[in-house]
Amino acid sequence: MLSRCSQLLKIVVTALALAAATFVAGCADGGDAPELQIAQSTGSQIELSRIYRLGVGDKLKITVFGEQDLSGTYDVNATGNVSLPLIGDIVAKGRPIGDFRNVVAKRLGDGYIKNPKITVEVLAYRPIYVHGEVKQAGELAYKSGLKLRDAVAMAGGYTYRANQTYLLIIREGQSTEAKVRLPSDLDVLPGDNIRVPERLF
C-alpha cells in the first residue's frame, strides 16, 4: 500500500513539475504577451509623418527660409536632443515632427528671427532590431512601407527552431513585448524591436 502511494505521489509531482516547466517556458517565450493594440493603416510616408514621434538616431533636415546658416542636417543625439545654432538644444525624442517644428520656430522667434518659417523632414529614420530565432539577428536599416515579414527576411529568415505562429514586438514608448499573430500585414515602425520566439517542441 505504501509503495503504491509513493508511486502515485511521484506521478503527481512529475506532472506538476512538467506543468510548471511548460508555464515558465511559455512566459519566457512570450506566449502570454498581450496582443498588439497599435492601430496603423498604412506605412506610407504621409501616414508615417502623421503618427511618427522622433527618437534617438533620426537624422533631420531643418530648413529656416532666408537663413542658410541656420538650415542644415541635424541628428537626434543620444540624449534625445537636437543641437541648433543660436538656440542650443531642443528636446526631440518623443515629439511628433509638427510639435518639434513649432518649438524650434518659437525659440527662433524669441529675439532672433521675426516670424521664422521652418520645415522639418526626416532624412533617415532610426534603425529597427530583429533578434531571436532568425539567422542574422541585429540592427537593420528602416525603409518606408516595411512589413514584419520583410524584417524577418532582412534578418536572414527563420531558424529551424523558430515559432512562426507569432512575433513579439516592443515599440517606442512601450516597456513590454506585445504579440502579433502571423501571418500579418502590420507595418514596421522605426525603432521597433522585433523578437522571433522559439518553438517549445
pLDDT 10s digit of each residue in the chain, 201 long? 545 555 544 554 454 444 444 444 444 566 676 776 654 444 444 456 567 889 999 999 999 999 999 999 999 999 999 999 999 999 999 999 999 999 999 999 998 999 999 999 999 999 999 999 999 999 999 988 899 999 999 999 999 999 999 999 998 778 899 999 999 989 999 999 999 999 887
pTM score above 0.85: no
pLDDT for the residue numbered 72 = 96
Residue with cell 536632443: 81
pLDDT for the residue numbered 37 = 60
The HSE-up count of residue 199 (CA atoms within 13 Å, CB side) is: 9
